Structure 1
Amino acid sequence: MPVQLSKSLAFALAFSTIAGAGVALAAGSHSGGHGHGPAIGEPGDGAAADRTIEVVMSDNYFEPEHLTIAAGETVRFVVKNDGEFLHEFNLGTAAMHATHQKEMATMMEHGMITPTGIDHEKMQMDHGGHGMEHDDANSVLVEPGATKELVWRFTADTHLEFACNIPGHYEAGMMGEIDVTKPAGSGS
């Protein structure tokens, strides 16, 4: 139990340091700006899902921490937030997550997200001529106690991450690895 308390404390400190830093970032369109394509895959059809993976988020970790998925596989992720804070489940490369973290910090600065939730009214507002909705097909925001689904088709064998990009969360260790492998029997 003391280890969990220490991790929670480290998580809270990382979050408050980044959230309270007043980072000034240019507002940009949050929706659709993550470069989906063959490198990370595409939105999937839930009716065609090859399997379902349950992912539990808490305030400093994901369970499971590592996934192996075959290229061409469509996966339905059922993502539950067992923590006290707002969390995100986002599929992408490390570079995509770094870019997305800046967008999430802007959303926090505008009050669209808070440490514990989403201000749906502010999500709909114009923020300096830029739309800032969190509606990317490769990502879901999950409030404490809630469960959401994300369906994704992994199109190429590559190395990806799943991560929470709420300010301070990735830095506190809220990320996991996804190895997308060649399908069995592909021979090459």
Structure 2
Amino acid sequence: MSLRHLFCASALAIAVAFSLPVLADAGHGYDFGKPAKADQATRTVEINLGEMYFEPESLDIKAGETVRFVIHNKGSLLHEFNLGSAAMHAGHQKEMQQMMDSGMLTPTGMQHDMSKMDHSKMGHGNMPMGQMMKHDDPNSVLVEPGKTAELTWTFNKATSLEFACNVPGHYQAGMVGKLNVKP
């Protein structure tokens, strides 16, 4: 092996070693908490989604509390329930727009037939199917019209968050609520 190949292999190994903790941590939680199992919940909160609104519009949670959210879509459009900061929602909205542009999402649902999606608009080039864009963030659920979904979360610190729908245009139309995590 030439010195150049050895150097490249070493640089690649170092890059992988430094990225592994980041990759491993991504699925375990966020700075405001982590996903939990429904049987760990200390409280259940019912959330209704309608045409561009959440009911209730705001929630108070205690730091350390594990909440099971039961989300009912009473509207006629696809909606999302996503926990995060305003900045997180802004970033996620770009991903949701890509999913809509590709045909993965429609105004009323999710496209489950991969052959009907425009993969050129998904930003993954020749990426294998298993690594393609998915809506599988642990702090978020998509809920089709007339359906119910659940999300259980342990809030680990006092902070101000939002719960929002990031389907293109919904956040901007006011589909966002306040979530206050108190000490």
- Normalised to the residue count of structure 2, the TM-score between the two structures is 0.77
| Counterpart among 105, 117, 125 of residue 113 in structure 1 | 105
Distance change (3 Å), C-alpha of 1:123 and 1:97: farther
Letter in 2 for 1:66: S
Aligned partner of 1:27 in structure 2 is none
Deviation at 1:120, TM superposition (A): 1.5
Aligned partner of 1:162 in structure 2 is 163
Letter in 1 for 2:163: F
SS in 1 for 2:100: helix
User: 2: distance between equivalents of 1:138 and 1:124?
Assistant: 27
| Contact 1:113/1:119 (<8 A) preserved | yes
Deviation at 1:164, TM superposition (A): 0.1
**How many percent of aligned residue pairs carry the same amino acid?**
56
Structure 2, unpaired ranges of 5+: 1-24
| Contact 1:85/1:143 (<8 A) preserved | yes
SS in 2 for 1:169: coil
Aligned partner of 1:22 in structure 2 is none
Deviation at 1:122, TM superposition (A): 2.9
Distance change (3 Å), C-alpha of 1:136 and 1:124: farther
SS in 2 for 1:133: coil
| Contact 1:112/1:123 (<8 A) preserved | no
**Within 5 Å, which residues of 2 pair with 1:74-93?**
74-93=66-85
Asked whether 1:140 is paired with 2:132, we answer no
Aligned partner of 2:154 in structure 1 is 153
| Contact 2:73/2:147 (<8 A) preserved | yes
Deviation at 1:46, TM superposition (A): 1.1
Aligned partner of 1:51 in structure 2 is 43
Deviation at 1:34, TM superposition (A): 9.1
Letter in 1 for 2:149: K
* 1:46-79 Cα shifts (integer Å, max 9, x gaps): 1110000000000110000000000000000000
Larger relative strand fraction = 2
Larger Rg: 2
- Normalised to the residue count of structure 1, the TM-score between the two structures is 0.75
* 1:12-43 Cα shifts (integer Å, max 9, x gaps): xxxxxxxxxxxxxxxxxxxx9799422x2100
User: 2: distance between equivalents of 1:101 and 1:111?
Assistant: 15
Structure 1, unpaired ranges of 5+: 1-31, 183-188
Deviation at 1:142, TM superposition (A): 0.2
Larger relative helix fraction = 2
Letter in 1 for 2:106: T
